[in-house]
Copies of this chain bind each other. A is one copy, B any other.
């Protein structure tokens, strides 16, 4: 991963888990994370798409977990926020006339994919519930 989105997503989810079903507003969440509520709402879109949270509009609205914290692994969170590949951005345009340059992207991709699989497997060892339980 290469963005603060994982941290933010995990922070949101941990707070929601701690809230035990009570709806938390994006402003409240933003207060704990110390970022802008609009950023929280943006990340909530993604968490909703991935089925982790549900939100209620309007007065007294807010968000809560949509499924049990036991069912949400850190690997799944990671996958929900990652967009570009793990070890480097793939905008390299090496020289196709060079035997190495011509093929390196293919080999780098293989390497990144293999490595990322291991990473996700490792993250999957821990659920949101496990992570959340570390907090008092």
Binding site for B on A (CB under 8 A): 1-7, 10-11, 14-15, 18, 31-34, 74, 78, 86-89, 91-95, 98-101, 103-104, 107-108, 111, 114-115, 118-119, 122-123, 126, 131, 134-136
Contact = CB atoms under 8 A, between A and B. Distances in A.
Q: How many copies does the complex hold?
A: 2
A13 to B, nearest CB: 10
Contacts of A5: 88
Given A94-B34, A100-B11, A87 B135 contact: no
Contacts of A91: 4
A89 B7 CA distance: 9
A78 B32 CA distance: 34
21 contacts: A1-B87, A1-B88, A4-B91, A6-B87, A6-B88, A7-B88, A10-B108, A14-B104, A31-B95, A33-B92, A33-B94, A34-B93, A34-B94, A100-B135, A103-B136, A107-B135, A111-B126, A111-B131, A115-B122, A115-B123, A118-B118
